[in-house]
Amino acid sequence: MSHLPSSPAAPRNDVREVTPAEAKVRLGQGAVLIDVREDDERASVPEGSLGVPRGLLPMRAATLVSNLGTPVLLICGSGVRSRLAAATMLDMGYQDVASVAGGFARWSAEGLPTTAGLLDTDAADRYARQVILPQVGAAGQARLAASKVVIVGAGGLGAPAMLYLAGAGVGHLTLIDDDLVERSNLHRQVVHADSRIGMAKVESARAQLLELNPSIIVTTRAERLQAANVESLIEGHDVVLDGADNFSVRYLLAAATGRLKIPMVYGAVERFSGQVSVFDPRRDDSPCYRCLFPHPPAAADAPNCNEAGVLGVLPGTIGLLQGTEVLKLLLGIGESLVGRLLTYDALAMRFHQIVLPRDPMCPGCGADAGFAGYRDIEAFCAST
């Protein structure tokens, strides 16, 4: 619904002004700060602000601030355009609007926090509902844009996670999978489509992700992760999302992420149950995957997933939990699942948390653990 006035209003002279220091306090209390300078003027912006040129404000305001009662602060270079912008928003029905006196020049002179102006008009609009969160803000959104996440597996777990990571604005996603799209994938691997059956999964996923968010970079690696390439495939990334379908890949990821000090967000599903955890080798208190599974199970204890089956929505639930943990790690917010294993029973609709401490005798990260090189082991599970 548009907040545009039905008829032109006379210029207002009742625009309230606040100092930059007052604006900073109100921003921390939930107000929305909008920088109405032009895109090319915003090389540096007030920390936590959204950027929209004043001329586009009438069209973008409802997207940025959907509630007319939300406190809104406007800032420009010197305080002139922000007063005009504030008058516009008052005419549109917003109830708590103020202009920042002295604009960005005074904000900077008073030593208030600034950040690089990486949110252009498209980004400010696209991520409006996310950057309004105090835990994210413009600085957090810029951090996401600069992040690189590798998703191992473009199947049931990776598909929902990658869709939401792309939508959230994670700037660079690397997809690793050597499979082709099959019709039997489609009930759970929601990034693919019937029209792309037979296409490489990574290319099918890339097409869908760029359709969702053309501003990100998607790199595809249509190859199987193995001992010979594991480090080269994941190095240089900020987080690894484990959407693998077999134990062989997970043990390789456990070893490589530990050596490269990259957090690994683990997920697994079978039939009606799933589990999620985070292994972060940057933390001294974090367990690793081998604290949970010290050694590969016997083949009899690892049924083929094609035979066991899986409820189609289950990988979606677990994959989205993994995506949530990835975003928390990138933004540095919240409490991650490090040291905890979250299990999910879809039939009972019940989550259960298990404490997962670091094992001092762990063959992967224990005090006496050694590294004898990467080794491929038998892949027990054919498909997630």
Q: Give the active site residues.
A: 305
CA separation (Å) from 295 to 278, 298, 380? Answer: 18, 9, 13
Task: Determine the angle formed by the axes of helices 201-212 and 158-168, rounding to 10 degrees.
Answer: 30
How many other CB atoms sit within 10 Å of the CB of residue 179? Answer: 17
DSSP line for 222-234: -S---TTTHHHHH
Provide the pairing of β-strand 72-75 with 32-35: parallel
Give ∠ CA 203-208-209 in degrees, rounded to 5. 95
Distance of CA 160 to the CA centre of its chain: 12
Strand locations in the chain (E): 16-18, 32-35, 44-46, 50-51, 72-75, 97-100, 114-116, 148-152, 172-176, 217-221, 239-242, 264-270, 273-279, 340-345, 350-355
DSSP state of 12: P
Cα–Cα distance for residue pair 66/8, rounded to 1 Å? 21
Residue 208: phi and psi, rounded to 5, are: -70, -40
DSSP line for 81-110: HHHHHHHHHHHTT-SSEEEETTHHHHHHHT
Cα–Cα distance for residue pair 173/212, rounded to 1 Å? 13
Burial of 131 (0-12, 13-18, 19+ CB in 10 A): buried
- Is there a contact between 51 and 120 (Cβ–Cβ < 8 Å)? yes
- Is there a contact between 227 and 374 (Cβ–Cβ < 8 Å)? yes
Helix (H, G, I), strand (E, B) or coil at 253: helix
Task: Determine the angle formed by the axes of helices 313-331 and 137-145, rounding to 10 degrees.
Answer: 110
